Structure 1
Amino acid sequence: MIRLFKLLLFLGSSMNNIGKKHSQKWNIIIARKLSGLEEAMRIRRLRELQNTTKVKKRQPLRCGKVSGRLPVPDHILKPPYVNSSVLPELSCEPQFHDEEGIARMRAACELAARVLDYAGTLVRPSVTTNEIDKAVHEMIIDAGAYPSPLGYGGFPKSVCTSVNECMCHGIPDSRQLQEGDIINIDVTVYLNGYHGDTSKTYFCGNVDESMKRLVRVTEECLEKAISVCKDGANFRKIGRRISEHAERFGYGVVERFVGHGVGTIFHSEPIIIHHRNDKPGHMVEGQTFTIEPILTMGSIDCVTCDDGWTTLTADGSPAAQFEHTLLITRTGAEILTKC
């Protein structure tokens, strides 16, 4: 009887220890699940906040009248696609540069950055995007360069101006900017045979906080993407960094439009994907390309207008974009499109 009692005590103690171990194991599993659930709920709350934030109601973007192409003096060196309305094919060769090429890339990109900064000073209510285009055109021509968008695949203007729900490739026209608009201005110049490409989203007058947040986070996404760039780094890191940061705020990352190699050719490999992806390939010292993420408050789907260029969010939600041209170095990336 005593032996039986001791055996029962032993079994009880063992079961209790096993129970504690199982309890600890389940506690760990539950804790992990709760941690994941909390993160999912946090993202959901951010999305709900984004959707419920009061945004000043505005009319859908309406395109204005597009004026004719501005003239370029004969002495300005022009890219080879200018005399054709056919959209050039993407070059399959990445672009690398020797010392002279890098010096020319720096000059083209620095000019593009100065032109973009100047264009930003023109943004205010009542100004038309056509007026911005004219000012940009004149500044580029005066610097002895060619406005790369002009004539590219038939594009009729010297700069892209994308307002509110326009994701990209907006054609400057007679529409006046309104109080509370956001506008992306995309400048590319062709100087001494090299393209420099950059863009930034600006505020027009008093912009509401939800739009300001979208613009701020989009710029932060570009900065975080640039921080992972260096010789030998995988291209897919770019999309992961952008997606991670955008998702923290409940924003969508547009998948249709990408960054690209740039140099003597306007658009080439590598294709830079801004969302999560498994694309192979890595960066190489001396290589130049753009990173240009577009974030939206709502749908990442888009519709292109009859002009073949102007691309809007499918649900009319605002979009923002930032872009830099980079030179890959052994230890990082040099931002070429800085003044």
Structure 2
Amino acid sequence: MAETMRAYRMSGWGDAPGATAVPVPRPGPGQVLVRVAGCGLCRSDLTMRRMPRAIGERLGWAMPFTLGHETAGRIAALGAGVDGLAEGDPVALVATGSCGTCRFCVRGLDNSCPRGSAGRGYGLDGGLADYVLAGRRGLLPLGGLDPRHAGPLTDAGATAYHAVRRSLPRIVPGGTAVVLGAGGLGAFAVQFLRLLTAARVVAVDPSQDRRAYAESVGAHHALSGVDENTADRLRALTGGLGADAVLDFVGTDATIAAGLASVRPAGAYGLVGSAGGRLTAPWFGTLPKDGEVYTFQGSTIADAQEVIALAAAGLIRNEVEEFGFDGVDEAYTRLAAGGLTGRAVVVLER
């Protein structure tokens, strides 16, 4: 095994990330070294280069660190005390950090773990490198799935799955579920809504290509991007009643306002997108009467396991566009410009 490896890293607060060479890590007791096959890119990566030092350090982040939290690969070496795995096994790495012992983790709510503010690719070394370390708890067997493309299932897929699962009690057969933003997460949400509900699914996105893809994976309707008429258009589709659930994978002022205005009484609005939008309207007449408004970050290990199982069964599509390690900057540029239909994946397996 080589002594050094390629890595795409944040070097300092406010600095642009870049490629460099770093030592290959060695697994300690309870750790596993994974040779990365592919690592997905996420819009949250773009915000990390603007992270103020005070906030980052409060979250437990330390510079420098390697980006990449949608990672899959093959086991390269096992530390002492790790069993049930063998070198060469294909695995995906859980995207969110968690301790496994707190009151949230033991109830299966590991995405709410208070120690989860720092994890692989956000404050700790992630998967945009030839190798990455993980604890046994953070590894998910992939079976026959291609580890070059499986990384997005652990974050984009699992986060969308968590959003849909939260909304299920509010969605009635024959009702309507709306997905605002049909990019990497939203396209997964469309598929999960079709699998898990008997609702009509509406995707809303400014990109014609993403609207077409949303329809190809099951959306009954696809509307152009959010504007001042979006709520009226969605209510027209529901006979004036409104949607059972609106899942917002964008999170701007406009999508928050339009999403809430589109929810029927006793419906649900889920805010997943992290664009930093605000709601300034008074709650009365704005929030859904007797409804539910929720937000969260990341997903649980159980969510990721279930998404991987759905993918292995051929029940969902995981659309990716491959980039080489030398194309990381290009991939992030296209991601920032909204020029991708599926998920950008940097393939490192040689």
TM-score by length of 1: 0.24
Q: Which has the higher contact order (CA 8 A, sep 6+)?
A: 1
* Structure holding more helix per residue: 1
Larger Rg: 1
Higher strand share goes to which structure? Answer: 2
